[in-house]
């Protein structure tokens, strides 16, 4: 068993600790994940901003005011504003690489 904490790379940074039996991921294996996050970010932002330019057309075709049709933009925005922090808190103990989920326990007990 080797001691990874005492080794240092050429530029002076300590090498990351790896669990035994786990291969170090190659830098190229991360690009599909980066591409999927970029694509989903684009789609989500597009779906929020695209209706803004169409509000007058949507209002006239539905025979309602632009303010009423504006709820098409407001409701998803408020939903995202409420659920994003809640999901962040709920999944804060989720292991990003291992996939394990630990239930948060009180530190006082």
- Whole-angstrom CA distances from 10 to 4, 16, 30, 82, 97 are 14, 13, 23, 46, 26
Token pair 């948060």: residue: 104
Q: Name every residue whose Cβ is closer than 8 Å to that of residue 69 and which is 6 or more positions away in sequence.
A: 55, 58, 59, 62
CA separation for the pair 105, 30 (Å, rounded)? 32
Specify the higher pLDDT residue, 100 or 44: 44
Interval 6-21 mean pLDDT: 56
Query: What does the alpha-carbon distance between residue 30 and residue 83 come to, in Å, rounded to a whole number?
Result: 27
Which tens digit of pLDDT belongs to each residue from 35-79? 998 999 999 888 878 888 889 999 999 999 999 998 888 888 899
pTM of the model: 0.46
């Amino acid at each position: 068993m080797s001691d990874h904490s005492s080794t240092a790379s050429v530029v002076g940074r300590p090498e990351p600790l790896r669990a035994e039996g786990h291969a170090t991921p190659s830098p190229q294996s991360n690009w599909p994940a980066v591409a999927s996050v970029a694509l989903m970010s684009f789609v989500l932002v597009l779906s929020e901003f695209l209706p803004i330019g169409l509000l007058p057309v949507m209002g006239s075709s539905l025979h309602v005011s632009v303010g009423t049709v504006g709820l098409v933009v407001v409701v998803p925005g408020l939903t995202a504003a409420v659920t994003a922090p809640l999901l962040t808190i709920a999944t804060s103990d989720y292991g990003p690489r291992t996939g394990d989920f630990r239930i948060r326990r009180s530190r006082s007990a």
